[in-house]
C-alpha cells in the first residue's frame, strides 16, 4: 500500500483558555482544529506527528490530548502503521460492514441522503470518532507500535479534527 496521500494539513489556531501566563503546575487548555483532504472513499491517514507537534507546542507537560473528528463517517483509533496490516484493516472494514447490501439510509423511499453511505456511518460508529491519550514529558504517550490513525470512510472529502491538550 502506498503511503496515504496527505494533501493538506492546515492548522487553524483557536482560543487558548486558562491562565494568561501559566506558571509551572497551573492548569491550561490549548485547542486546535486540524484539517485534511482525503483522496479515496476509504483511506487511512497517520496523524501521529501532527498531533505530537501540537502537544509539544502546547506548553502542557502532563495531561491529556483529546482528539475528536467532527464527521460521523470517519474514525480515530490506534494501530501499527505497517503497509500490509493497513490493507488488512481496510479489508476488515469491508467485511465487518458490507457496502453492497440493503440499507434504509440508502433507499430514496426512506432517506434524502444521496451519498449511499450507510456503510460509512456504521463503520465510523463502530470504530468511534474520539480518542484520548496521555501526555507525559510534553509529548503523546504511545507504545512502540502505536500510531494514531484517522480513517476516512466516505471520501474524498475535507475533514477536520479538533485537538485539545489539557493539563499542567
Q: Which residues in this chain contact a second copy in the complex, by CB under 8 A?
A: 14-15, 17-20, 25, 27, 29, 31, 61-64, 66, 68-72, 77-80, 82-85, 87-89, 92, 96-97, 103-105, 107, 110-111, 113, 118, 121-122, 124-134, 136, 141-146, 160, 162, 164, 166-168
Q: Give whichever of 50 and 93 is closer to a second copy, judged by the CB atom.
A: 93
* Least gap, CB of 71 to a second copy (angstroms): 5
Which residues neighbour 129 within 8 Å (Cβ) at sequence distance 6 or greater? Answer: 68, 69, 70, 71, 72, 74, 75, 76
Q: How far is the CB of 134 from a second copy (least distance, A)?
A: 5
Do the bridges between strand 43-46 and strand 74-79 make them parallel or antiparallel, or are there none, so unpaired?
Answer: unpaired
Q: Where are the alpha helices (DSSP H) in the chain?
A: 48-58, 83-96, 118-127
> If you search the block for the grid coordinates 483532504, which residue do you land on?
37
149 has which bridge partners? 46, 77
Q: How far is the CB of 68 from a second copy (least distance, A)?
A: 6
Amino acid at each position: 500500500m502506498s503511503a496515504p496521500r496527505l494533501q493538506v494539513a492546515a492548522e487553524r489556531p483557536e482560543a487558548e483558555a486558562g491562565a494568561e501566563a501559566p506558571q509551572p503546575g497551573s492548569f491550561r487548555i490549548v485547542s486546535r482544529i486540524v484539517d485534511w483532504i482525503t483522496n479515496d472513499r476509504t483511506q487511512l491517514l497517520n496523524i501521529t506527528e501532527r498531533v505530537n507537534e501540537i502537544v509539544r507546542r502546547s506548553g502542557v507537560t502532563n495531561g491529556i490530548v483529546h482528539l475528536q473528528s467532527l464527521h460521523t463517517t470517519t474514525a480515530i483509533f490506534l494501530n501499527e502503521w505497517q503497509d500490509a496490516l493497513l490493507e488488512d484493516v481496510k479489508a476488515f472494514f469491508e467485511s465487518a460492514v458490507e457496502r453492497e447490501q440493503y440499507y434504509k439510509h440508502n433507499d430514496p423511499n426512506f432517506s434524502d441522503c444521496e451519498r449511499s453511505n450507510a456503510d460509512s456511518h456504521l463503520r465510523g460508529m463502530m470504530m468511534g470518532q474520539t480518542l484520548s491519550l496521555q501526555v507525559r514529558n510534553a509529548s503523546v504517550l504511545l507504545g512502540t507500535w502505536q500510531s494514531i490513525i484517522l480513517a476516512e470512510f466516505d471520501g474524498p472529502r475535507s475533514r477536520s479534527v479538533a485537538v485539545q491538550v489539557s493539563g499542567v
